[in-house]
Chains A and B, each alone.
Chain A
Amino acid sequence: MPGAPDAPVPAGGRAEPRHGLRLAVLWVVASAICTPLVYFVWGPHIPPGAMSSSASGQQFDTTVLAAMATPVVLGVWIYFGYALTVWRHKDGDTEDGPPIHGHTRIQVTWISVTAAIVLFLAAFGTYELIAAAGVGAGEGPQPIWKPDGRPLQVQVIGQQWRFSYRYPQFGGFETTQLVLPVGQPVQFNVTSLDVIHSFWAYQLGVKADANPQLNDAAYTTPQHTGSFTVRCSELCGIWHGAMFDDGTVVTASAFTAWATHTEAQLASITKQLPPYALTYDANLIPQLGKALTSAGLNGAGGGYYGPQDPAQP
């Protein structure tokens, strides 16, 4: 290959410069400059930020991946640029280039280095899943990775087309406000009352599917106060695009004051709610069952299909 250190001398007589050495020097210098820049300068700005343990864990992982990818990308770009500049066709040059042969040393080096990178990333990714307690992802009803201690329980209920939140450790009140304390582990128990939604607290780095009659647990620990955005990230009907709201991370004392006040404020409506549970079977609501029966619907299979269905607008 043209860039190999032992490229043959052309029949014309002029010795080729040591392209391989040039490329190696360029690559080492560029990597030595750019890799720290990527890690230390760009890294702290990579989404989703560092508002929570899971968010900062995702940011760290992405920063490591970006830093590791930097030398690889630079190698490709430098070789590409060098080839375009140095080996471009010159006017009047009709001579063929030297024949290309396999180069065992380069091939072995390439395979070894890329294999090492991939294996390292596999080990790194696996460790990061464990170390960060699931990295904020929904882990289903029986989560493998949990944080230490006694997390604050927050149930996220998706319904077309709102999210609401229950706090079972404060009497089970339900509200449309998502308020969390800074510094305390939080366990989100995510479920749905109808179709599949997905709870995505962007700046917290938490994302968990909301499935009817299934609890999907996700963990995080807020690290900074402020507001964050909650969006549904599963296409769920006509108002899916409008199914978003804001949450807030406040100090521990402010959270306690808010939760206590809200619990008292909503006490009467809390009595009308079904007892707190990790999932709710909407078909078992007796009043709904009566309405369905009177409408001639069977309610089977978790949905409400009439005899003429499936029918959608």
Chain B
Amino acid sequence: MSLPVRVATLLGATVIVIAGGVFVVIHYLLGGPLTEDFTTTASAHEVNITMQADPQTTVTDKPDWVTYFIKNPQTGAWDHTTLFKVPADTRVNVTIDGFDGPTPLRNPAWDQVTGTIGGVEYVNGKAVSSLNSWNGDVQHTFQIAGLNLNVPIAAETSSKLCSTSPCSLSQPHVVTSFSFMTPATGGFFRWQCIVPCGLGYLYGNGGPMSTPGYMTGEMEVVG
């Protein structure tokens, strides 16, 4: 093999290795969902977060995965993410527009509302302390284990569910709202849906249930 060929081969292999490394860094390390920053919109130790729970994710290559969206506090657009940042020692008012139909919990203990201010959630404005997923009342849950927060999201019972995400508020949906306090010091708190809604995966807990950006995410509390 001549010297020019050898040099060209070496350079080509080097470029391939570097390109592979760049791809891994960009795609896997930097390519996750964005983080919504609510620290700048907090007012008087209070912040408002609006989310929606959809029966599909048509904005990704996983259209049959259920998912959450978060409304961008700056632009008002629906972003496909489950990561958000809030200030410490702050009341967080969460509104979730639930567009999905019912799925039963494997453990009905999670029908109970815990960790919210007043121990209740509001379903279309009505205060309740629990739902009954085995009666078809629940589509998903919003649960932050580190704060012992558990909120079952009321199910939409329409036979014509939204089919394009993010869903329009003109589509049939149920509004679930609740409030909780962030801790006095900063930290990271994972949150998840505990309904086994990843059907098609082991115990219903794989797929969207195990992928940040869909039915699980993280709340960063900034101290």
Chain A residues close to B by CB (< 8 Å): 157, 159-162, 164, 174-176, 193-195, 237-239, 242-243, 245, 266, 268-269, 272-274, 282, 285, 287-288, 291-292, 295, 297, 303-306, 308-313
Contact = CB atoms under 8 A, between A and B. Distances in A.
A313 B202 contact: no
B63 interface: no
A239 B203 contact: no
Contact of A309 (B108, B196, B201, B209): B201
Interface of B: 103-104, 106-109, 111-112, 114, 129-130, 132-134, 136, 143, 145-146, 148, 190, 192, 194, 196, 199-207, 209-211, 216
B108 A159 contact: no
A261 to B, nearest CB: 14
Contact of B192 (A161, A266, A308): A161
Nearest to B108: A272
A273 B112 CA distance: 11
Contact of A194 (B108, B109, B203, B207): B203
Given A159-B106, A269-B109, A311 B201 contact: yes
A237 B107 contact: no
Given A194-B205, A272-B134, A304-B204, A176 B114 contact: yes
A306 B199 contact: yes
B132 A313 contact: no
A135 B154 CA distance: 45
B200 A309 contact: yes
24 contacts: A159-B107, A160-B203, A174-B107, A194-B106, A194-B196, A194-B203, A195-B203, A237-B205, A237-B210, A238-B210, A238-B216, A242-B145, A287-B133, A291-B103, A295-B199, A303-B202, A304-B196, A304-B199, A304-B200, A309-B200, A312-B206, A313-B206, A313-B207, A313-B210
Nearest to B204: A304
Contacts of B104: 285, 287-288, 291
B157 to A, nearest CB: 14
A305 B109 contact: no
Given A161-B192, A245-B145, A288 B106 contact: yes
Contact of B211 (A162, A242, A287, A313): A313
